[in-house]
Amino acid sequence: MIRELIGIDCACDPRSVGLARGYIQGHALVVGQVIVGSKSEDISAVVAQWMLESSGPVLLALDAPLGWPAPLASALSTHQAGDYLASDAHTLFRRSTDRFVRTKVGQQSLDVGADRIARTAHLALQLLGNIRARTSETLPLAWSPDYTESSAIEVYPAATLRAHGFDPRGYKGKAGEGVRRTYLDRLMEFVQIDAEPRLLVENADAFDSVICLLAAADFVRGLCYAPPQPTIARREGWIWVKNGRT
């Protein structure tokens, strides 16, 4: 059975969005196509077209928070300007999954409640809405590998890299080309990359979109940490990352 995947490295600027298309067949993860967005092309149109060309359910793996901290919403629901906030900043601005990934994998994600990543999260949710409109798919969040309709998950490339034994420090930007080249060589030992390798070396967003596919493959194979508190995860979102037992 072929499991079709799309990795999306989300960003506020469409020119910084990486998109990767791939699939799992048997034991192999195959990366077939990788592109970088532009101002002239609607990202949702590209993803929707890929989905419409697919033969079965597609799993979208997005590098962006898909929810906000529940304590923040509770604290602000009745807050008035100047009032005291009893909770500490980490409790308010970090989700349960952010703390979990930091503890289990050793990689701290940005605080969606405090950092500029909140704008990326907002745009990611808009993107999902636009894809739903273009495909007429409901695109729910997947919570187990046995999803039966096209679905989406949240992933975090830096955590996925670390979970696979890579050091994510220094691989971003122009200065990270050498690191990405080295990491790509290692990835190709267990990932079949049919897309143009040069783009992955030259562009960190394209590289991240492939790591999103790797995270999606981990999820499909049942290798990721599941949320210990499912109710909170469904409210705040959950970062799916490979567990340390495999």
187-229 per-position pLDDT tens digit = 999 999 999 999 999 999 999 999 999 999 999 999 999 999 9
Taking residues 87-106, report their average pLDDT. Answer: 89
Is residue 58 within 8 A of residue 51, CB to CB? The reply is yes
In whole angstroms, give the CA distance from residue 28 to residue 232.
Answer: 33
User: What token pair was written down for 200?
Assistant: 């992955």
Chain segment 2-52, per-residue pLDDT in tens: 899 999 999 999 999 999 999 998 889 999 999 999 998 899 999 999 999
Q: Check residue 86 and give its pLDDT.
A: 73
Q: Is the pTM of this model over 0.75?
A: yes
Question: By C-alpha distance, which of 226, 82, 219 is closest to 160?
Answer: 219
Give the residue-averaged pLDDT of 78-86. Answer: 79
Q: What is the per-residue pLDDT across 129-183, written as a single tens digit (0 to 9) for each?
A: 999 999 999 999 999 999 999 999 999 999 999 999 999 999 998 889 999 999 9
Which residue carries 């499909």 as its tokens? Answer: 220
Q: What is the dihedral of CA 239, 124, 118, 108, to 10 degrees?
A: 20
Q: What is the pLDDT of residue 62?
A: 98
What pLDDT does residue 194 have? 94
DSSP 6-47: EEEE--SSGGG-EEEEEEEETTEEEEEEEEE--TTS-HHHHH
Taking the C-alpha atoms of residue 90 and residue 69, their distance in angstroms, rounded to an integer, is: 10
| φ, ψ at 92 (rounded to 5°) | -75, -40
Q: Provide the pLDDT for residue 80.
A: 80
- Radius of gyration over alpha carbons of the chain, in Å? 18
Q: Which is it for strands 192-193 and 28-36: parallel, antiparallel or unpaired?
A: parallel
Q: Please report the pLDDT score of residue 73 as a whole number.
A: 79
Evaluate if residue 245 carries a pLDDT over 80: no
Amino acid at 134: R
If you ran DSSP here, which 8-state letter would residue 67 be given?
A: S
Pairwise CA distance, residues 201 & 178, whole Å? 8
Residue 92 has pLDDT above 90, yes or no: no
3-class DSSP state of 79: coil
- Rounded to the nearest 5°, which phi and psi values hold at 28? -105, 135
Which pLDDT belongs to residue 246?
Answer: 54
- Give which of 44, 55, 47, 52 is closest to 4, Cα–Cα: 55
Q: Which residues pair with 3 in a beta bridge?
A: 24
